[in-house]
Amino acid sequence: MKKLCAAFIALTTLPALAAPRTATLAVSGMTCAACPITVKKALTGVPGVTRAQVDLDQRRAIVTYDDARTSPADLAKAVSDAGYPAQAVGVE
């Protein structure tokens, strides 16, 4: 019974430890209207991402994510793996 209670407490308090964060990524290589769609799909496929907004004109992506599940480096890697070199340039 103690193990069950401990598991319940752990599961119900873990979400409280995670903090939503926002990262801005500089994304190069986007040249057409389809590019932001591919970048957004790569970002939303990362566990913990709750929102991704990609701007072709600014060559950037703004991503809201759960910092307990992913990181700006993971986000940049996902975009880079999709064919668009990216790097984190800001985190809030």
23: its two tokens? 């990262």
Specify if 1 maps to a domain. Answer: no
Specify if 11 maps to a domain. Answer: no
Specify if 5 maps to a domain. Answer: no
Task: List the domain range (segments joined by +) for residue 71.
Answer: 18-91
CATH number of the domain where residue 60 is located: 3.30.70.100
Number of domains in the chain: 1
Tell me the per-residue pLDDT of 12-28, one tens digit each, with 9 for 90 and over.
555 556 689 999 999 99
pLDDT at 19: 81
Q: What's the whole-number average pLDDT of the chain?
A: 89
Alpha-carbon torsion, ordered 45, 47, 52, 55, to 10 deg: -60
pTM of the model: 0.80
Tell me the per-residue pLDDT of 39-54, one tens digit each, with 9 for 90 and over.
999 999 999 999 999 9
Specify if 10 maps to a domain. Answer: no
Specify if 7 maps to a domain. Answer: no
